[in-house]
Structures are given as structure tokens and as C-alpha cells.
Structure 1
Amino acid sequence: MANQTILTFLTLPVELVYRILDHQSDMTIICSMRNVCQRFNTILDSYYRYQTLTTLYVGGKQIGSVEAQHLADALQYNTILTTLHLLNNEIGDVGVQHLAHALQHNTTLTTLILGVNEVGTLGAQHLAHALQYNTTLTTLELSINSIGDIGAKSLSDALQHNTVTLTTLDLGKNEIEDVGAQYLADALQHNTTLTTLNLEANSIGDVGAQYLADALQHNTTLAMLGLTDTSVGDVGTQYLANALQHNTALTTLELIKNEITYVGAQHLAHALQYNTTLTTLELSVNSIGDVGAKSLSDALQHNTTLTFLDLQLNRIGDIGAQHLTHALQHNTTLIILHLRYNEIGDVGAQYLSDALQSNTTVTNLSLGGNQIGSDAMEQINKFVQRNERAIKS
């Protein structure tokens, strides 16, 4: 007994410590293993998993404000983690306050995912304050929270500071209305880093769309604007279309599931004849009909930049399909055309098939959910696959 060796943490062989670490979760390694003692810090720094732990995914783990505080404490010293994914937890405004404080000191984190986390106005204010000091965060995802117009204002104020490095901001489904859109529009007129702004499932409406459209006439960096399910109608679409005639930065405009009819489609079609940067236009789940399809088809005969057009669920029908054939026969840039669930039958399919005989660029034409027979679909697919093979060769 007198000669018995007593192992303590300070004398455990490094390889044995590695084995212990092998059985710990990433969360435990990040939050609980640092600063135990100087020796353990040295061992941790040489541990392969720690050296390569650049992404921490802890979504749906019921993480609350206490666990968020542990994470925040770790972030103040961590120099490896670049992505922190906390989707669908219970962090709340208090937990966000801890994380925001850490962001003021952390210099490596580039992506923070906080969607579905009970974040309200106060949480947005804490993050906004942190953004004025943080110099590395480029992506902030806050979808499905409740920051509201006041929270949008706080973030907008932060975005107007030259030191903010944020390029992607997701505020989908956050109870933001036209007032919040106005605040964000003000930010867009001054910010020079943001390239992606998602406002999906907010009550932006035509008034909010007007604010954003005005900003787009001055902004030179935003490349993607997401306005899916935001109650934008023909009037709001007209504002956006007018902006597209002057904007030279936006490449993607999402207007899915809105209140756009053939009138809105006409406004967009007019803009497409002048715009030279938009490559993706998503209009699915609207009501543009065959008249709207004709307007867009006419524009595509002259447009040389659009590569992706989504018109699913728009009641285009066989007549609308016929109108689109003119675009397919003359346009040389469109690659992807989505026409699913559009009440198109064999007659419309034949029009499309005839047009595809001379088209050499469309490699993806989706027609599921229509009333098209197998023979007609086979003929269409033959031409699409021909184009695909030609591009690959």
C-alpha cells in the first residue's frame, strides 16, 4: 500500500485524457473543459477534436438562458469555433444577452443561428449593441422569433455603422410590419456589407414594399431580398419593379405566396426589359394567370440575365404555356423554369415541347402536378435532357 501510485488529474497520461475527451459531447468540450487548469488547457489545445471543432450544432436541445451563459463564457476565449447553430431552443432574451456580450469579445465566430428561440425586442437590442463592436460575424439567423418593429429598428440602427461586417440577416417570421420594413429600408440606404436579407412571413404589405423599393434604388450591395408570404400585392410589386429598373446589385427576388396578379406580373415584366442583374425571380403561389405569363414571356424574349423563373401554382393553364413558348424559342439564358401545378394539359405540353426543339439552354423544366400524359412528358424530358448533355459536354 505504501508504494501504491495515486493518479490525479494533474498526473494522468495525455493519452488517457484524450480517451476521456473522446466520450464527451462537443457542447461539453466547448463549455466545460476550458480553464480547468493550465495543463488541461495545453492538452485541450493539442486534442484533434478541439482543434477541428469549427462548427457546434446544438439545435433542439432545450437550451435555456443558463446553458447559453455557459456557451457565452466559452466564446469569450474560444478562437476556433466559426459556426454556432442553436436553432429551436429556449434561449430567450436573457440567454441572448449573454451571447451578445460574448460577441463583443469573440473574434472568430462568423455564423450565429438563433431561429426559434423565443427572442423578443430586448434580445434584438442586445444583439444590435454587440454588432457595433463585433468585427467578424457575417451571418445572423433570427427567424421565427418575435423581435417586432422595435427589434427591427435596433438591428437597423446597428447596420448603419461602418464597423458592422454582417452580410446575411434572416428575420423571417418575426412580427415585423411596414414600420419595421421602413427601419430596415433606412439601413439599406447606408449599409454597404449586407448581401442577403430575408423577411419571409412578416406583414410587410405594399407600404413596406414601397419603403424597401425606395432603398433598393440607392443600395449597391444587397443581392438577395426574400419577401415570401409578406402580403405584397400588385401595388407593392409595382414599387419593387420600378426599383429593379435602376438597381444594379440585386440578383434574387423572392415573392412567393403573395397577392400578385397579372397586373403585378406586367410591372415585373416591364422591369425585366431594363434590368441587367436579376438572375432569379420566384413568383410561385400567386395568381398571375395566362395574362401574366404572356407579359413575362414577352419580357424574356429581350432579357439576357434571368436564369431561374419559378411560376408554380399560378393558374397559367394551356394558354399561358403557349405564351411561354415564345420565350423559350428566343431566350438564350433561362436555365430553370418551374411550372408545377399550373393546370397545364397535353395541349400546353405540346406547345412547350415544340418550343424546346429549338431551345438549347433550359436544363430543368418542372411540370409535376399538371394534367400531362406520360407520352407528352417523355417528349419534353427528351429535349431537356438533350440540353443538359450538351452543356456538360
Structure 2
Amino acid sequence: MQTLTTLNLASNAIGDEGVQHLTKILENNNTLTTLNLAKNGIDAKGAEHLAKALEGNKTLITLNLSSNEIGTEGAQHLAKALENNNTLTELDLANNNIYNEGTQHLAKALETNNTLTALNLARNEIGAEGIEQLTSFLRNNTTLVTLNLKHNKLEVDGVKHLAVGLENNNTLHKLDLTRNQIGDQGAQDLATAFRDNKTLAYLGLDGNKIKQQGAQHLAAAFENNKTLTFLDLAGNEIGDQGAQDLAAAFRNNTTLTTLDLRRNEIGKVSKHHVMQTLRENTTLKLFLWDDVEDLD
């Protein structure tokens, strides 16, 4: 069918054999732009078939391979395809056991790629070693707009590498680092990287063991920022003072539209102080109260 533009085969257990048949179609197809193969039991062999098809394909823009089993070897096959592909803009490889080695292969390939705008590597057990290779890619890249690294193992060393790569990056709009255990030092490194940033609009830092000191650094970095619209700090440990520092920083900020501070060990009295501080900021949607009982 030469008019098909979107094909969703998610959750169909097609496996490697199914992918092999599919790639024969992709090699000759010039209309398909979106392909969803999430949750299909595809491993490295299937990724290899797909990679070969991608090398010659000139139309596919979005590829979703999330929640498969491509592993490090599969990531290496896809990386090779990305070196020669000039059309793919969105790649979702979340939950694929890629680990550090697979991330290194992808990062190296992407250094010469000028089309990818969105990359999802969530839930891949990626640590500092894998992120370090991404640094040079991010430092020089001018196309990537969205990077999802949630639920990995960046921790302090990984986010330090990431911060270096992002310091002079002028294209990234959305960065999700949810649940990476970056702590106060990681928050400080990010704050330094984004202090003069004029492109980042979304920063997800939910569940990262950030305390008062980290919140203070972030508050100072974003106080006069004119691009950040969404900041998620839920599930951290910023406490009363951290919450008040952030509230003071965003009191007169008219760019930020969403601030999530739920589950942060903030007392009721401090929550009321935060609300009072931000009462005149009519553009900001504040998430502060953890549950209905909090409001009693």
C-alpha cells in the first residue's frame, strides 16, 4: 500500500521474524512516516533487520521501539543506521536494556546526525559512563529538542558529564531526568549549566534526592530565566527553606507556568507561606499539597 503514512503494531508480539518481513516493505516504501513497534519482543536480530531497512529509507520520521529487548547489540545496529539516515526525527528506545555500551554506540553515531529532534532513552540502566559519550554529541548538536533520560542511573557523576554537554547547548527544549538520584551536587551542576540558558522550557527532576541546598542553586539559576515554563521537583527533600527559596525566586517570574513541589517534606505552615509569596503570580500553576488531608 503506497498511501499508508502511519503504522501502529504495538503489543503484537511480532518478534524478530515479524520485523524481518516488515523491513522488506520498508525498503521499498516511500510514504510511511510513523512506525510504532513498542512491546513486541524484538531483540538484537530484529533491530539489525530494522537498521538495514533504515539505511536506505528516506521517509520514516518517527520510530517507536520502546519496551523491547534490543540490548547493547541492537543499539549498535541502530547506531550504524543513524550514521547514514537523514530523515528520522524521533526515536524511542525506552526500556530496552541498552546500558552504557549501547548508549555509547548511539551517542557516537549521533555526533554526525543532523536530523534527530527527540530521543527517548528512559529505563535503560544508563550511568555516568554512558552519559559521558553523550556529552560531545550534546555540546555540538543543533537539532535535538527533547531528551528523555528518566529512570536511569546517572547519579552525581553522570549529571556532571551531562551538565558539561549542555552548558553551551542552544537547542534543547525538554530534559527529563526523573529518578536519577542526582542529589544536591547534581542540581548545582545543572543550575550552573542552565544559568544563562535561553532555550530550555521543561525540566523534570522528580525523585532525585534534592534537598534545600540543591533547591537554592536551582532557584538562583532560574530566577530571571525567560524560557523555562515547566519545573518538576516533586518527590525530593527540599524542605521548608528550599520551598521558600523557590517561591521567592519565582514570585515575579511570568514565564514559568507549572511548578510541582509535592512530596517534598514541606510543612503546612511553610506551604501557606509559599502560597502567600506566589499569590500575585497569576501565570503560575502551583502543585504543592500532597493529598486531601494536607488541606485540613
Supply the distance in 2 between the matched residues of 1:167 and 1:120 (Cα, whole angstroms): 22
Match of 2:45 in 1: 122
Whether the aligned pair in 1 keeps the contact of 2:289 and 2:295 (CA below 8 Å) is no
TM-score (norm. length: structure 1): 0.73
Q: Do structure 1's residue 365 and structure 2's residue 286 form an aligned pair?
A: yes
Q: 1:110 aligns with which of 33, 36, 60?
A: 33
**Counterpart mapping for 1:252-271 below 5 A:** 252-271=174-193
Whether the aligned pair in 2 keeps the contact of 1:344 and 1:371 (CA below 8 Å) is no
The residue matched to 1:130 in structure 2 has which SS? helix
Supply the distance in 2 between the matched residues of 1:192 and 1:125 (Cα, whole angstroms): 22
Q: Do structure 1's residue 339 and structure 2's residue 266 form an aligned pair?
A: no
Q: Do structure 1's residue 83 and structure 2's residue 10 form an aligned pair?
A: no
Q: Do structure 1's residue 146 and structure 2's residue 69 form an aligned pair?
A: yes
- Note the alpha carbon deviations across 1:175-232, whole angstroms, 9 max, x for none: 1111111111112211111101100100110111111122100111011111011111
Supply the distance in 2 between the matched residues of 1:119 and 1:201 (Cα, whole angstroms): 17
TM-score (norm. length: structure 2): 0.96
Whether the aligned pair in 1 keeps the contact of 2:86 and 2:114 (CA below 8 Å) is no
Q: 2:56 aligns with which of 133, 145, 155?
A: 133
Q: 1:101 aligns with which of 15, 24, 48?
A: 24
The residue matched to 2:91 in structure 1 has which SS? strand
Q: Do structure 1's residue 356 and structure 2's residue 278 form an aligned pair?
A: yes
Q: 1:160 aligns with which of 46, 66, 83?
A: 83
Supply the distance in 2 between the matched residues of 1:274 and 1:182 (Cα, whole angstroms): 28
Match of 1:224 in 2: 146
**Structure-2 change in CA distance of 1:368 and 1:86 (3 Å):** farther
- Report percent identity of matched pairs: 48
Q: Do structure 1's residue 193 and structure 2's residue 115 form an aligned pair?
A: yes
- Note the alpha carbon deviations across 1:320-351, whole angstroms, 9 max, x for none: 21111121224331111111222222222122
Match of 2:295 in 1: 374
What amino acid maps onto 2:207 in structure 1?
V
Structure exhibiting the larger radius of gyration computed from Cα positions? 1
Whether the aligned pair in 1 keeps the contact of 2:155 and 2:181 (CA below 8 Å) is yes
Q: CA deviation at 1:146?
A: 1.0
Q: CA deviation at 1:354?
A: 2.1
The residue matched to 2:150 in structure 1 has which SS? coil
Gaps of 5+ in 1: 1-77, 376-393
Supply the distance in 1 between the matched residues of 2:205 and 2:103 (Cα, whole angstroms): 20
> More relative contact order in 1 or in 2 (CA 8 Å, sep 6+)?
2
Q: Do structure 1's residue 308 and structure 2's residue 230 form an aligned pair?
A: yes
What amino acid maps onto 2:4 in structure 1?
L
Q: CA deviation at 1:84?
A: 1.0
Q: 1:233 aligns with which of 155, 158, 162?
A: 155
Supply the distance in 2 between the matched residues of 1:331 and 1:299 (Cα, whole angstroms): 12
**Structure-2 change in CA distance of 1:301 and 1:181 (3 Å):** same
Supply the distance in 2 between the matched residues of 1:311 and 1:117 (Cα, whole angstroms): 33
Q: CA deviation at 1:358?
A: 3.5
Supply the distance in 1 between the matched residues of 2:73 and 2:247 (Cα, whole angstroms): 47
Supply the distance in 1 between the matched residues of 2:203 and 2:158 (Cα, whole angstroms): 15
Supply the distance in 2 between the matched residues of 1:321 and 1:370 (Cα, whole angstroms): 17
Q: CA deviation at 1:370?
A: 5.8
The residue matched to 2:144 in structure 1 has which SS? coil
Supply the distance in 2 between the matched residues of 1:155 and 1:368 (Cα, whole angstroms): 44
RMSD (CA atoms): 1.5
Supply the distance in 2 between the matched residues of 1:314 and 1:339 (Cα, whole angstroms): 8
Supply the distance in 2 between the matched residues of 1:226 and 1:207 (Cα, whole angstroms): 17
Whether the aligned pair in 2 keeps the contact of 1:344 and 1:370 (CA below 8 Å) is no
- 4+ long deviations beyond 4 Å: 370-373
Number of aligned positions between the proteins: 296
